[in-house]
Amino acid sequence: MKIAVVGATGLVGSTMIKILEERNFPVSELIPVASEKSEGKEILFRNKTFRVVSPAKAVEMNPQIALFSAGATVSRHWAPLFANARCRVVDNSSCWRMDPDVKLIVPEINGNILTTKDYLIANPNCSTIQMLMALAPLHKAFRLKRIVVSTYQSVSGTGQKGVKQLLDERQARFTGNETGKPIGNAYPYPIDLNIIPQIDVFLPDGYTKEEIKMVNETHKILDDHSIGVSATTVRVPVTGGHSESVNAQFEKPFTLEQVRELLESFPGVTLQDHPGSLTYPMPLFSEGSDQVFVGRLRYDLSCENTLNMWVVSDNLRKGAATNAVQIAEKLTDLLKG
């Protein structure tokens, strides 16, 4: 299959290419796509080099699947053009997620709703994916009533410029050149030795777009708008891996033993919950993994049928690139038959 990766030179795009190789995806020709300033650059894939081309050129090359990670503006314009050319598009931006005609997919949760008629599929937000990977099997068993989540999101979620700002600030601190001002334009404040309680822009009600994404996407993926969702999203000085403190209230009672059994048997989830040996998920050890790690399981002592948990995942992989490739794998299986 000819596979296009739109945004191939970015953090998520380059991770998509890496995962296509790792998972032995059936690629006959890779079409790396980026903006004009990156045209002509060479991308190494399976010991072969492929030149970066423009989106217009990529459409002419007739790929069967295009993985998009170039931002909402690019997706809004180019995704329909690829789809109209009979190319199946998996889009990682926020552009199409809440479109009622576009499916929002986490393969382990609702991949069964994909059909051969789908030419444009949306990849959810990274923070939503990992939270629902941990909650979906519990929702099926006990039915979610309300979720309160606080995220601790790494700077790689902002792309290369977020990582650069953190590392530049840290270097300046070590060399004594610290100014107290952010180095770069990823964040409005320094991120090193700091925590910024803002991800994306503020809305009139005081929530940020990232927080409302988690609300809306949860409803759409689980196909249940009755679930209450309250989110606070926070940027922390960690280079990779998002963490979440999740408080989930269910309609039915449960035991921690039942919760552990459900999580251990759910594909893509790894349980790390042994307080006695100080075993719990941490972003430092999630980098490079496609798993969603869950730990710190405990009853909420203040509320009936309510669970506390700590959820960690590599945001560039399962939170973005791996999930997109898994969607492409589902599409490929459907096309086979």
Question: Of 237, 250, 252, whose CA–CA distance to 182 is shortest?
Answer: 237
Rg (CA), the chain: 20
CA pair distance 207, 209, nearest whole angstrom: 7
Report how far residue 291's alpha carbon sits from residue 16's, in angstroms, rounded to the nearest whole number: 16
Burial grade of 143 (CB within 10 A; 0-12, 13-18, 19 or more) = middle
What is the chain's percent helix, strand, coil content, to nearest 5? 40, 25, 40
Q: Which of 87, 95, 126, 139 is catalytic?
A: 126
Region for residue 261 given its phi and psi (left: phi exceeds 0; alpha: psi -120 to 50; beta: otherwise): alpha
Distance of alpha carbon 228 from alpha carbon 222, whole angstroms: 12
Annotated catalytic residue, options 87, 242, 274, 303: 242
Assess whether 303 carries a catalytic annotation.
no
Among candidates 49, 59, 15, 12, which has minimal Cα distance to 29? 49
- Annotation marks residue 242 as catalytic: yes
CA-wise closest residue to 263 among 281, 242, 275, 284: 281
CB neighbour burial string for 14-41, b if at least 16 within 10 angstroms, e if fewer: bbbbbbbeeeebebeebbbbbeeebeee
List residues with catalytic annotation: 126, 242
